[in-house]
């Protein structure tokens, strides 16, 4: 079996965020891996936290929760 990389990319381009989220979850479960960001990204998150107001963070949290994300604002 050979993969048609171009067809896979074309499918990904037209997929919804929810479909892509389901794809990531399925790949994680099938292969026992995680798509979590590396620990090095934690420094970028800390810097971003300082630049975002509480109101903006709450607004973003609400948008992410609408599409099924689990978010905690600190």
Is residue 10 a part of any domain in this protein? Answer: yes
What is the count of structural domains for the chain? 1
Cα–Cα distance list, 4 to 1, 7, 21 (Å): 10, 5, 21
The burial class, CB within 10 Å (0-12 / 13-18 / 19+), for 46 is exposed
Print the domain residue range for 43.
Answer: 5-66
pTM exceeds 0.85, yes or no? no
Per-residue pLDDT, 6:
94
**Segment 34-64, tens digit of pLDDT:** 887 665 555 666 666 567 777 888 888 888 8
Q: Whose CA is closest to 20, among 70, 69, 57, 71?
A: 69
* Mean residue pLDDT across the chain: 81
Is residue 72 a part of any domain in this protein? Answer: no
């Amino acid at each position: 079996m050979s993969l048609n990389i171009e067809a896979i990319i074309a499918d990904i381009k037209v997929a919804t965020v929810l479909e892509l989220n389901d794809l990531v979850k399925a790949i994680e479960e099938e292969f026992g891996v995680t798509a979590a960001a590396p620990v090095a990204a934690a420094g970028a998150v800390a810097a971003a936290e300082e630049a975002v107001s509480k109101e903006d963070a709450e607004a973003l949290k609400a948008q992410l929760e609408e599409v099924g994300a689990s978010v905690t604002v600190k």
